[in-house]
Structure 1
Amino acid sequence: MVLTPQGIRFQGRLWPCTIGKGGISDRKREGDGATPRGTHAIVGMLYRPDRIAKPADWAKPIGPPDLWSDDPADEDYNMMVRAPYPHSHERLRRSDPLYDLVILTGWNWPYAVRGRGSAIFMHQYRRPGYPTEGCIAFSRPHLHEIARRIRYRTRLIVP
């Protein structure tokens, strides 16, 4: 998978997407809204079993207590954690459909450098052209089709 100005090039197709509101960065930091430049392995897939069917045999369900730590001061920074969790985090089980299906990249994982930025997900976008907080977002149909085609350890290249 290669990010281009027109979208992600993957398996002979171009998949329109949006990236972080901070553009592409060589110096990704927590909260900067940037998508980090580099080669990132696909290291996981999460889904809402109450909303969609399991998209791949290696996908893991998102439950009500599932969160993602974005607190650089916490030892679980940039890891999936469970509620109750007293540190800064993002709820994975959202009321909107953005995280019904999440493809995890290996950005700053599994041994996170504190403050270098937490998870870069591939997820559904709010609407076409609406930027993310650093993730890569697609239309729902495109994201689901990519999930059917992608494999564990596929590389995402952000030039």
Structure 2
Amino acid sequence: MSKWSFSKDIAITVILFLSISFLSFAGPGEDYKKKLDTQNSTRETTENVSSFSKVKSDLPSDSSVSAEKQRDERISAALSASQVGKKEEQILLLLDHKLSLWDKKEGQYVKLKEWECGYGRNGLKAAEIRKEGDGTTPKGAFPISFAFGFAEKENTKLPYRQIKKNSVWSDEKGSYNQWVESNRYVSGEQLWNYKICYEKALAIGFNQNPVVYGRGSAIFLHIKAPDTWESSGCVTVEKSSMEELLTLVNEKVSIMILQNEEEIKAY
């Protein structure tokens, strides 16, 4: 063996020894682990912040809660001061596509519940100029006359009528805008044919006192059709909303159908 080869072997052995000693003391595995720990900690912190931000963004802001509270307070004051509000114990209020129920407590109205709702395909129209078949829902304040549907009875404090095969809401001149039971054919809304919409419903006392022929008939608050919120003039809600509503309303309730809250004072 040459002197150079011997020296080379010694050098390699020394380098290997030093490398093994260094690895056993610190090692790249420990550094790598520390690096991973740092990365994981940073990622977890970022994810936690992101998750918290999402949760926070899903919560209503203080300003939106405050604005809604102020709006409810304005509506409460307006309902309490209105002529309808003074004589009733409850008000159903339709504003845009929201239907809310307000209960009078110590002379002031408090909102009990709010639901999504629909109405006539051609919008709202002042009750006194509305006409039969124009596809609008009458604006104004009207009593809720009674509840009706296909069940023999319902869990409600309102008077209740069961739909039979000969039940018709007439549009004939002699019995216009009235519920009629007749074995002969009567022109109007054949209630028996509307198994979904009239399963549970409320009769709105529009065009009742006095009855004006041609102004409109069969205006109800009923369950929406499966494929649309729109109607020919009635107010529509989800079935679950109607079920809940029936249990909450009492006999002294009217409905206000309005475009905006400023119109409450007119009634």
Question: What is the TM-score when the length of structure 1 is the normalising length?
Answer: 0.88
Match of 2:145 in 1: 43
Q: 1:87 to 1:107 in 2, by over 3 A?
A: same
The alignment partner of 1:104 has SS state of: strand
In 2: Cα distance, 1:155 partner to 1:66 partner? 24
Structure 1 residues without counterparts, runs of 5 or longer = none
Report if aligned partners of 1:17, 1:129 keep a CA contact under 8 Å in 2: no
Deviation at 1:130, TM superposition (A): 2.7
Alignment correspondent of 1:69: 170
What amino acid is aligned across from residue 205 of structure 2 in structure 1? G
Compared with structure 1, are the counterparts of its residues 32 and 62 closer, same or farther at alpha carbon in structure 2 (3 Å cutoff)?
A: same
CA–CA separation in structure 1 for the residues paired with 2:185 and 2:210: 21
Structure 1, residues 96-128: CA drift from partner, whole Å, max 9, x if none? Answer: 311011201110015310011002100000137
Residue of structure 1 equivalent to 2:235: 136
Structure 1 residues 132 and 139: alpha-carbon distance in aligned structure 2, compared to 1, 3 A threshold? same
2:95 alignment partner AA: T
Distance 1:56 1:113 in 2: 30
Q: CA deviation at 1:84?
A: 3.2
Match of 2:94 in 1: 3
**What is the aligned-residue RMSD (CA, Å)?**
1.8
Which runs of 5 or more residues in structure 2 are unaligned?
Answer: 1-91, 103-110, 259-267
Deviation at 1:95, TM superposition (A): 5.2
Find the counterpart in structure 2 of residue 148 from structure 1: 247
> How high is the sequence identity, in percent, across the aligned residues?
25
Structure 1: distance between partners of 2:122 and 2:192 = 25
Structure 2 equivalent of residue 78 of structure 1: 177
Shift of 1:42: 0.5
**Which deviates the most, 119-128 or 32-41?**
119-128
SS in 2 for 1:114: coil
Letter in 1 for 2:148: L
Q: Which has the larger radius of gyration?
A: 2
Give, in angstroms, the shift of residue 150 of structure 1.
1.1
Contact 1:128 1:139 in 2 (8 A): no
* TM-score computed with the length of structure 2 as normaliser: 0.54
